[in-house]
Amino acid sequence: MNDFDQKINDLLLDIFDKILLTEEKALRRGNFSDISVAEMHTLESVGPYEKRTMSETAATLGVTTGTLTVAIDRLVRKGYVERHRDNTDRRVVRVALTRQGKLAFRMHNKFHKLLVDRLVTPLDEQGRDVLRKTLIAIDGIVSEQYERYVLSDHAEDNL
C-alpha cells in the first residue's frame, strides 16, 4: 500500500471503530444501558410503527430467523419488544416495539441525526455532493464484500 492508500485505510478503520465505540458508550451512559448496539440495531430493523414478521425483520438485518429469535427473546425479556399473532393468519408471529422500545429507537436516531448534522452542516452544495457520491461508492464496495462473505454464510447455515 502506498502512503495515500494507507491513509484511506486508516481513516476507514478509525471511523468504523469510533462510531461503534461511541454508540456503545452513549448507550451505556444513557437511559438504555441494558441494551447493546447490536440490540439497538435489532430495534431499528423492527421499526417504530408497523408490526413486522420475523422473516421481514431477519431479512433487513441480514441474519437467519433462528438468530433473530434469540435476539428478540432477549429484547422481549428486557421490555423493548412484544410479539403479536397476525390478525389474519394466527400462525404468523409479528414483532413490534413497546413504548420503551420506541423511546430507545428515537433516542438512538437522535444520536445518528446529530452525527450527520455535524458532518453535513459545514459543507456547501458541492461538498455535500462529493460526500454523497464518495459514500455511495464505499457502500457499493462494502456491500459487494458483504454479499460475498456474510450472505454465503447464511446460505450454508440454512442448508
Residues in the chain: 159
Which range, of 56-64, 102-110, 121-129, 131-139, touches other proteins by CB under 8 A? 102-110
Q: What are the φ/ψ torsions at residue 113 (nearest 5 degrees)?
A: -65, -40
Told to check if 149 binds other proteins by CB under 8 A, we report: no
| Minimum distance of other proteins from residue 77's CB (angstroms) | 21
Q: Which of 30/127 has CB closer to other proteins?
A: 30
Q: Which of 41/102 has CB closer to other proteins?
A: 102
| Minimum distance of other proteins from residue 109's CB (angstroms) | 6
Q: Which of 19/107 has CB closer to other proteins?
A: 107
| Minimum distance of other proteins from residue 146's CB (angstroms) | 27
Region for 154 from its dihedrals, namely left if φ exceeds 0, alpha if ψ lies in -120 to 50, beta otherwise: alpha
The three-state secondary structure class of 96 is: strand
- Where would I find the H helices in the chain? 3-29, 37-46, 54-61, 65-77, 99-120, 125-146, 152-157
Told to check if 26 binds other proteins by CB under 8 A, we report: no
Q: Which residues are CB-neighbours of 115 under 8 A, at least 6 positions away? A: 19
The H-or-E segment that residue 93 falls in is strand 93-97
Q: Which of 116/159 has CB closer to other proteins?
A: 116
Q: Which of 28, 84, 106, 128 binds other proteins (CB under 8 A)?
A: 106
Summarize as ranges the residues that interact with other proteins (CB under 8 A).
31, 49, 99, 102-103, 106-107, 109-110, 113
